[in-house]
Amino acid sequence: MPMNHAARCLLPVLAAILAAGLAWHCRAEDQADGPRIVAGHPVLENRASQPGVVEVHLTAAPARQSLKPGTETDVFAYNGRVPGPMLEVTEGDTVIVHFRNELPEQTTVHWHGMHLPFIADGSPFHPVAPGEIYTYRFEVPEGSAGTYWYHPHPHHRTAYQVGMGLFGAMIVRDPDDPLPRDMRERVLILSDHRFHDDGSLDFAEDDRRQARIDEMNGREGDVLLVNNEVMPELSIGAGEVQRWRIINASGARIYRLGLKGHEFLHVGSDGGLFENPVETDEILLANGERAEILVRGTGEPGSEALLSALPYDRYMAQWRPRDWDRPLDLATVKYSREPPVEPVKIPDRLRRIPELDPDLATVVREMRMTNGKINGRTMDMNRIDEYAELGSKEVWHVRNLVGMDHPFHLHGFQFQVFERDGEPVTQRRWEDTVNVPAFEDARFVVRLDNHPGKWMFHCHNLNHEDQGMMGVLELE
CATH of the domain at 325: 2.60.40.420
Question: The pTM is what?
Answer: 0.92
pLDDT, position 205: 85
Judgement on whether residues 192 and 331 belong to the same structural domain of the protein? yes
Judgement on whether residues 316 and 390 belong to the same structural domain of the protein? no
pLDDT, position 420: 97
**Residue at 16 is within a domain:** no
Judgement on whether residues 328 and 193 belong to the same structural domain of the protein? yes
Judgement on whether residues 289 and 375 belong to the same structural domain of the protein? no
Judgement on whether residues 224 and 266 belong to the same structural domain of the protein? yes
Judgement on whether residues 322 and 379 belong to the same structural domain of the protein? no
- The residue range of the domain holding 263 is 184-335
**Residue at 351 is within a domain:** no
Per-residue confidence in pLDDT tens, the chain, 476 aa: 344 444 444 434 333 333 333 333 333 334 445 678 998 899 999 999 999 999 999 999 999 998 888 889 999 999 999 999 999 999 999 999 999 999 999 999 999 999 999 999 999 999 999 999 999 999 999 999 999 999 999 999 999 999 999 999 999 999 999 999 999 999 999 999 999 989 999 999 887 888 999 999 999 999 999 999 999 999 999 999 999 999 999 999 999 999 999 999 999 999 999 999 999 999 999 999 999 999 999 999 999 999 999 999 999 988 899 889 999 999 999 999 999 999 999 999 999 999 999 999 999 999 999 989 999 999 999 999 999 999 999 999 999 999 999 999 999 999 999 999 999 999 999 999 999 999 999 999 999 999 999 999 999 999 999 999 999 999 99
**Residue at 32 is within a domain:** no
Judgement on whether residues 54 and 115 belong to the same structural domain of the protein? yes
Angle ∠(358,432,130) on CA atoms, nearest 5: 145
**Residue at 223 is within a domain:** yes
pLDDT, position 70: 83
Judgement on whether residues 115 and 230 belong to the same structural domain of the protein? no
Task: Confirm if 468 and 379 have CB atoms less than 8 A apart.
Answer: yes
- For the chain, what is the domain count? 3
Judgement on whether residues 223 and 324 belong to the same structural domain of the protein? yes
Judgement on whether residues 147 and 222 belong to the same structural domain of the protein? no
Judgement on whether residues 128 and 198 belong to the same structural domain of the protein? no
pLDDT, position 23: 34
Judgement on whether residues 306 and 188 belong to the same structural domain of the protein? yes
**Residue at 65 is within a domain:** yes
**Residue at 41 is within a domain:** yes
